[in-house]
Every structure is written in C-alpha cells, then in structure tokens.
Structure 1
Amino acid sequence: MLRSEKDRSFYIGYTSNLENRVKKHQLGYSRYTRTKRPWKLVYFETFDLKSEAIKRERFLKDQKNTTFYESLIKNWSGSSVG
C-alpha cells in the first residue's frame, strides 16, 4: 500500500517485486499514480501464492475506507503475512 504525499490518497496493488514496483510508481510509469507523486510505502504483506495476494488486494480495495487503512497501518508490525 502506497500513500501519496501530495494528496494523502492510497494506492493498493500486488507485485512479485516490491522494490521495483515502488520505484516505477515514483518514476511515473503508472498513469494513475503519476500525478500524485511522491509516494511512500506504508504497508505490505507477503504471500506464498499469487492467488492469495490477489484475493487480499481485492479485499483491501473493497474497503474504500481511510480509517480502516490508517488502522491497518498503525497496527502493522512490518512483518510478513500469509
């Protein structure tokens, strides 16, 4: 989960290479994230299976709730999940 330092919005996605994905967002490769740079990585989880990661991504996107996201980030230990 990335958070825009420009407008405080969130971006949620999955990837097999977190460092590369964040870098591409910072460089403006994504049309959606380009105008909201810079971004800060505020939360991530790891999963063994791509299908699990996609399922979790969909769940998080369905929340559409800043309070939920902020609570998740606040209580995050930075460790892996899944």
Structure 2
Amino acid sequence: MKSGAVYMMANRKNGTIYTGSTSKLVQRVYQHREMVVEGFTKTHGCVRLVWFEVHADLREARLRELQIKRWKRSWKVRMIEEANPDWRDLWFEIQGR
C-alpha cells in the first residue's frame, strides 16, 4: 500500500484554487512552484501550497481529491481558512517529508 496526499494550490489569497493528489507531495509541489509541467497550475500561476491532507493509502487520497473537486468553491475556501487563515505558502512546512 502506497501512501498519498491530497492538496490545494493557489495563486494568491482567495485566488484561483487547484486540487490534486499525489504519492510524492514534495516533488509534486516543487513541480507546480517551478512551473515545469504544462497545465492548469502553470496557466493560472498556482504556485502556493495552501492546504494538504496525508492519507495512508494513495487510493484514499485520490477519492478525497475527487470528492473535493465536486465541492462548491466556498466549501474549499472554508476548509483552507480553517487550517490556514492567511493562505500562507506551506511549502516550507513539508520540506523533509
């Protein structure tokens, strides 16, 4: 069983939000931050990790990602602000994971 994480990236406080899941959180966030992969986050400048949740099973993380993607934006904002009211970049907090 491979562990995983679901995460949200944003371009600024109350800005555009991207939700994803991965088995390698640090590596994936680095790719978003450095804009090395074409796609939504590069187009919209979503380089700030504002929320993440670790799961013991990657399949659980992917299911949670799909669940969150179906949510209203206001629900996502509320979840971010409950854990990270200032929308700080959590990149430095995941170093060494």
Q: Do the two structures share a fold, i.e. TM-score over 0.5?
A: yes
Q: Percent identity, aligned pairs only?
A: 28
2:45 match:
37
8 Å CA contact 1:24, 1:30 repeated in 2: no
Q: Runs of 4+ in structure 1 displaced over 4 angstroms?
A: none
Q: Deviations 1:30-64 (Å, cap 9, x if unpaired)? A: 3221122252111100001111111100000011x
* Cα distance change of structure 1 residues 41 and 49 upon mapping to structure 2, 3 Å threshold: same
TM-score by length of 1: 0.79
- State the Cα RMSD in Å: 2.3
Task: Name structure 2 gaps, 5 residues minimum.
Answer: 1-7, 85-89, 91-97
1:1-82 paired onto structure 2 within 5 Å: 1-5=8-12, 8-28=15-35, 29-63=37-71, 65-76=72-83
Distance 1:68 1:32 in 2: 20
Aligned residue pairs total 77
2:87 match:
none
